[in-house]
Amino acid sequence: MIKLIVIVLFIVLVIGILMSVIRIVPQANAYVVERLGAYYATWHTGIHFLVPFLDRIANKVTLKEVVKDFEPQPVITKDNVTMMIDTVVYFQITDPKLYTYGVVNPINAIENLTATTLRNIIGDLELDETLTSRDIINTKMRSILDEATDPWGIKVSRVEVKNIIPPHDIQEAMEKQMRAERERRESILKAEGEKRSQVLKAEGQKEATILSAVAKKEAMIAEAEGKAKAMEAIYEAQARGIAMIKEANPTKEYMMLQGLKAYSELADGKATKLVVPTELQSLASFLTSAKEFTNLKSEEKE
């Protein structure tokens, strides 16, 4: 029975020793190991063995990118305006050994370094430049912080100015300025709209006038062409009539009779002056003489 208890205790002791000396490092992590108080090695992902009573894990470091949002810091611009600015720093540990032994409390060190760097940069800018130069501020801060944190085994990848909070009176002045600017833009847009409307209206009237003139011109041309075609048709009909008469070879008396008919039609009109051809005059004399001769014969018979 005693031997069984000793065996069980021995097994438990062995298991305890194995558990104390075996270490498994997770993915994206690193362990800084010391032996007898001095730096010994940096363990990366996998299984490792720790020598009891000699080795110890001094620090467990994550190799992932860390995002740190720092509290707003008071800064003074070049034109003596005090404002509050908070920043967000993106960094990654590249050397666990330097991160462990390079500086005490690295996160606090980065925060203080960020605050002092931000004050130095904003001190060279005026208020308007500060509000419109975020990209410049971010770039300068990233460059300075990355260079300063190299001895600590830290790589600063990005720095972003999150909020810029000017004093209350400055905010009110900015709001008034923005309101005035919006009203000015609204007035300009309204004036441009009215101007554009008048231009479009004038262009519409101009186009309407041009279209009306073109339509009138086309109507007159069409009317003239119609009259020309009508006259052409009349002349062609007269020409065909003359040709037909010529082919029929009418007698002189027939022609004189037709002339007399035309003379009668002219006499029925409103003309105040008539020009009678010689042939018609001769015909008229002939008819008059014939009428007198007829009358004389009638009187003799009576």
The encoded tokens of residue 7 equal 């065996």
CATH architecture of 65-166: 2-Layer Sandwich (3.30)
pLDDT score at 39: 93
pLDDT score at 302: 53
pLDDT score at 248: 66
Q: Say how far apart CA 278 and CA 289 lie, in whole Å.
A: 17
pLDDT score at 270: 53
CA-based angle 236:241:245, to the nearest 5? 150
pLDDT score at 272: 53
Domain boundaries, the chain: 19-62, 65-166, 251-269+276-293
- Strand ranges in the chain using DSSP code E only, listed in sequence order: 22-25, 29-35, 38-43, 46-49, 55-62, 65-69, 73-76, 82-93, 154-165
Residues of the chain with pLDDT under 70: 245-246, 248-302
pLDDT score at 95: 94
Q: Say how far apart CA 40 and CA 34 lie, in whole Å.
A: 5
Q: Calculate the CA 206 to chain-centre distance.
A: 31
Q: Say how far apart CA 210 and CA 181 lie, in whole Å.
A: 43
Q: Say how far apart CA 52 and CA 138 lie, in whole Å.
A: 48
CA-based angle 201:207:208, to the nearest 5? 90
pLDDT score at 88: 94
Q: What 3-state DSSP class applies to 260? A: helix
